[in-house]
A and B are shown apart, each in its own frame.
Chain A
Amino acid sequence: MAEKIVYKKPDSLTDKIFSYCWGCGHSTVHKIIAELIDELGMREKTIAVAPVGCAVFAYDFWNFDTTEAAHGRAPVVATAIKRVHPGHLVFSYQGDGDLASIGMAEIIHTANRGENLTIIFINNTNYGMTGGQMAPTTLIGQKTTTSPAGRNIKQNGYPIKMSEMLAQFESVKYVERVKVTNAASVIKAKKAIKKGFLNQLNGTGFSFIEVLSACPANWRMEPLAAKAHIDGVISKYYPVGLIKDIK
């Protein structure tokens, strides 16, 4: 009998156990990013920019060079790093409070400049780290700690669709929205992020991958219920799939 390990923790992850909550999508996306960097052989030529939010600790888990930007500024920090090291794989990893609220100017101008970067946008429809406050992405009627009666469109407007908005820019080459609720969707998400990385490595340009991600702790749901909430509710407002792909 011969035994072969066919799935294990990637080298681009450190041994540190993820500090994220049970069933948190950040863990899954951290993992598939690390797997891709292993598969692309880019561990020694990758520089990541972490956000402010739960994923601020990404650098504890990724075994490649990482910095941490001020809240919302990750795309412009990444812009400068990429301009200094054009041959490296540079990406920013940002949540919805970071990217869609305080960092709106940074992401829009980085997209409009068409920087040759990959942006990974984690949309869990709330501010996770600070305890589940309302985000620009919070669904209509969704109860959060700052919208206890549910998001009210008269006061707060509609949940913002970053992917659809950024796809309008001519210099944006690739936009896809994915989710990480089961193995099939994780495989699709990984494929999308891989395309985003390859677009950068072959010089195609700006790629944006939005990941619908579970926040069981702040949604007050167990992980399996959170997964069902993405499949049944969130992805109705934020449909998954390819939004833009220009060669």
Chain B
Amino acid sequence: MTTGKQLIKGNTAIVEAALDAGCRFYAGYPITPQNEIPETMSWRMPEEGGTFIQAESELISINMVFGASAAGARAMTTSSSPGISLMQEGISYMAGCELPAVLVNVMRGGPGLGNIAPSQSDYFQAVKPGHGDFHIITLAPHNISEMYDYTFDAFDLADKYRIPVMILADGLLGQLMENVELDRSRKPALLNAPKPWALTGASGRKGQRIVSLLMQPGALEKHNMDLNEKYNLIKKNETRHELAGMEKNPEYLIAAFGTCARISKGTMNIAADAGIKTGLFRPITLWPFPYEALKEAAKKVKKVFVFEMNLGQMVEDVRLAVGDDSKIEFYGRPGGGVPTAEELFEFIRGKVK
């Protein structure tokens, strides 16, 4: 892949972004709809001098990423919903050990084996992962440029805060091809930043450890408090969102992320033609969720329409932010259902009349 305008698939953009960001370890297991990632990685990663391993399960993928990260490498794994479920154990261990890594979930329908259609049914799993008291950063792209940009940014974010960062995409974003101009001139800011905590051999020092078991009385409580301080810093520094259409003083706000936000942009145009002014609030970080910004935006409108490809997951955070349930109208399509822009517009029209 080169610089300049090109037709590129979402899954491929993720591969190139990871390599550009200095990722040199990838382990992954086949699962639709993200197979282009391990397939492309299997030859692109060796070209860049890194390690590609086809893991024998998602448990193995995530634990290989644990090892590579502990050893100081920029590491990534990718999967889709059922595979991400299997990774929850490893994600919790990485959070406990404060290991950076980038994880990609190209979501499909669930529960169980579900189907392979695009879905947003893993919002809960992404923002409330694993066992124990922890968070991971979750970024939600809504087009192919962002599949590249957010993946690229995720590696610096992961290293900056020593935290796993998840890219929450879906089957549509993974499979979609777009003609995009990627900015490949950027250099990852923290690629060469020292990692004194990494296991590189105890050269000239005592042996050090990367562990999540803290058995001394009070030690784990202190660790959790330290993690919380870090999470507060991330909330303060890294919370991101997109707010569109507010310059026209809309009466209504749409809140949606990822593919649903993309569809909602079409809905806004249809609504405008019908004389209904809408704005769009698109959380970019799902954790930390942009509560304050949404609260402010919601003050200026009569209603907040929440659109998701699930039966109501992000809407819980929207309710917390808005603080007035009577303002909120939810419409969701589960099980791989992808709404059309017209369908969402009809829902809005039904509620504003």
Contact = CB atoms under 8 A, between A and B. Distances in A.
Interface of A: 14, 43-47, 49-50, 56, 59, 62-70, 73, 76-81, 83-85, 88, 105-106, 109
Given A63-B206, A65-B207, A109 B200 contact: no
Nearest to A109: B56
B207 A76 contact: no
Interface of B: 25, 27, 51, 53, 55-57, 59-60, 63-68, 70-73, 75, 89-90, 93, 97, 199-204, 206-213
B59 A105 contact: yes
B44 to A, nearest CB: 17
Contacts of B66: 69-70, 73, 77, 80
Contacts of B201: 44-47, 64-65, 85, 88
A81 to B, nearest CB: 4
9 contacts: A44-B203, A47-B71, A62-B207, A65-B207, A80-B64, A80-B68, A81-B68, A81-B70, A83-B53
B71 A106 contact: no
A73 B62 CA distance: 10
B29 to A, nearest CB: 11
Contacts of B208: 65-66
A50 B67 CA distance: 12
A69 B68 CA distance: 12
Contacts of A65: 199-202, 207-209
B189 to A, nearest CB: 22
B67 A81 contact: yes
Given A45-B201, A47-B201, A76 B211 contact: no
Given A81-B70, A81-B71, A106 B209 contact: no
Given A73-B60, A80-B68, 5 more contacts: A50-B211, A63-B206, A67-B199, A80-B51, A80-B66
Contact of A77 (B64, B89, B209, B212): B64
Contacts of B67: 49, 67, 69, 76-81, 84
B64 A76 contact: yes
Nearest to B27: A80
The 6 A-B residue pairs with the shortest CB-CB distance, nearest first, are A80-B67, A77-B67, A84-B71, A73-B63, A80-B68, A65-B199
Given A76-B55, A76-B67, A67 B209 contact: yes
B207 A59 contact: yes
A88 B203 CA distance: 11
Contacts of A67: 67, 70, 97, 199, 209-211
A63 B209 contact: no
A70 B61 CA distance: 13
Contact of A45 (B70, B73, B203): B203
B199 A81 contact: yes
A68 B212 contact: yes
B51 A68 contact: no
B60 A106 contact: yes
B70 A77 contact: yes
A79 B64 contact: yes
A64 B207 CA distance: 4
A83 B199 contact: no
B53 A79 contact: yes
A201 to B, nearest CB: 13
A73 B59 contact: yes
Contacts of A59: 207, 209, 211
Best-surrounded residue of B27, B55, B57, B64 (most CB of chain A within 10 A): B64
A49 B59 CA distance: 17
